[in-house]
Each structure stands twice: as C-alpha cells, then as structure tokens.
Chain A
C-alpha cells in the first residue's frame, strides 16, 4: 500500500525558494503569478495494515518539522 505525504512551510514562514521561482516565472513573461510556495512530496511504500496514525507519527517524528512545516497525509 502507498501513502503520500505533502510537506509545506507554514503560512507566515518566509519561503525564499518559492519567491525565487515566482521571480523566475515573471522573468519568463508569465504575468499574474501572485505567489509561489514550494514544498515536498514524500511517497511511502508501506506494509499492508499500516495505519494513517502510523504515517502521522512518522510525520511528527521525522518527515516534517512542525516548528516551520505543516503536512498532509494521503493514504492509498
């Protein structure tokens, strides 16, 4: 079974990489990009029976730093 974890910097935490991407899009002539936030997608290949709670524990312990990041778990 699979799980996908999306990790993003929390709102209010400066994302300089997202800002750089926004500038680069503007330089390429893409107007109207008001903001870019860059995050991570982590795909997990899990043993059957692994629960969403287990994946949440993985996020809390390692995959995300909740001081600066938020995360979202998608099972399956």
Chain B
C-alpha cells in the first residue's frame, strides 16, 4: 500500500504524517508542490499541516492552486483517497474537494493543546477503527480552525453522516463543533486536529494510531 505526502514550502508536519503512515505499514513517497503528477500506484495522498506559503492571502489558498493540487484533485475526482490534516484540511476546502472554509479562531488566539474529539461515525476507512461515540485525545495547533459552512451544507453533512469528528469542548468557534468532515464518497477526510501527533507512545498519546492503521489496513487488503 502506497501513500504520497505532499510537501509545500512551509509544510511542517509532512514528515510526521509520513512517519505515521509508515508505522501503520504504508510505503511513503514525498511529492513536491511543483510536481505535476502523483507517483504511479498511489493509494492515498496525505496533505500535511504547516503554514504553506506562509498562510499568505488565506490559509491554503496558494497551495490549493499549486501544480500538485491539480493532480490531487484529479486523484480525488477518480475516487482516490485523500487525507488532509490542519493546513491540509484548509487546502482541501480551498480546492473545493471538501465543502466549507476555515476561519480565524473565534477567540483570535493560536491554540496549541490536546483536545477531546468525539468520533461521530465509524463508517469510513479512516474511522472504522473507532466506535461512533468514542472520545479520543488528539492535539490541535492552529490559528484558523473555525469551521464555517452555510446551514444547507451543514445540514447535508449531518444528514449524510459525513461529520467524522466533533470537539467535545469547542475550542475555536467551529460551526456545530465540527473538527473533521468526509467527502460524499467518504474517501476524503479533512480534519484540523493532528492524529499523526498522537500516533506513538513517545508523543504522550496514541489515540490517533487507530486512524492510520484503519486506512492503511483497508487499502492494503483492497
């Protein structure tokens, strides 16, 4: 099973994401933002956290228009798996692969701490290692994680069971406490919290491990 992790200028969680994928059994290839194609045989693309292009203009906006993102969009359009974390989630909303947008945190502060997340659905390759209703501890580290979408979009996300994670104690003003969402075909997950920072005993918590094991396992057996 092969994963590609995209690297933009300013990405800073790319190696963490690669380590988490590898620990779960994936082969990982890093791809640069100027690449126009993904390597052959890629099962999932990871879009990492960080501050791509210095967060200039809007978080993720310039990365979303980079050459590699056209390839990532084509991969998603063909039904490929994509996983965006933090800045990666912002990039996925900016490309339109996932609906909504991430606004400045309601309290205006950059927040770096471990938060509680409720798993809202186990019906996806990413979340099948959890039970719906489980509460997991995963770190957040963001300034612009306040999920916004119009009511019709939020209603659709809920009625289609596409909210993957909710904050148990909303830290940033996100609409309906949303921390992570799935695409319509459930093969793209974007989330602000960092499961790759809770994937090794050395991190102080391993609640994120189940996500990587589930998706890598699913794609290995597929």
| Size class of the contact patch on chain A | 10 to 19
> Is the Cβ of B61 less than 8 Å from the Cβ of A67?
no
Q: How many chain B residues have a CB neighbour from A under 8 Å? A: 20
> Is the Cβ of A17 less than 8 Å from the Cβ of B149?
no
Measured CB to CB, the closest approach of chain B to A68, in angstroms, equals 5
> Is the Cβ of B65 less than 8 Å from the Cβ of A14?
no
> Is the Cβ of A67 less than 8 Å from the Cβ of B57?
no
Q: Which residues of A contact B171 (CB under 8 A)?
A: none
Return the chain B residue nearest A42 by Cβ: B57
> Is the Cβ of A17 less than 8 Å from the Cβ of B104?
yes
> Is the Cβ of B58 less than 8 Å from the Cβ of A14?
no
Q: How far is the CA of A62 from the CA of B101 in the complex (A)?
A: 14
Q: Which residues of A contact B25 (CB under 8 A)?
A: none
> Is the Cβ of B57 less than 8 Å from the Cβ of A17?
no
> Is the Cβ of A68 less than 8 Å from the Cβ of B101?
yes
Q: Which residues of B contact A61 (CB under 8 A)?
A: 65
A16 CB–B CB distance under 8 Å: yes
> Is the Cβ of A65 less than 8 Å from the Cβ of B106?
no
Interface residues of A in 26-76 (CB under 8 A from B): 61-63, 65, 67-68
Residues of B within 8 A of A (CB): 57-58, 61-62, 65, 93-94, 99-101, 103-108, 146, 148-149, 173
Residues of A within 8 A of B (CB): 9, 13-14, 16-17, 20, 61-63, 65, 67-68
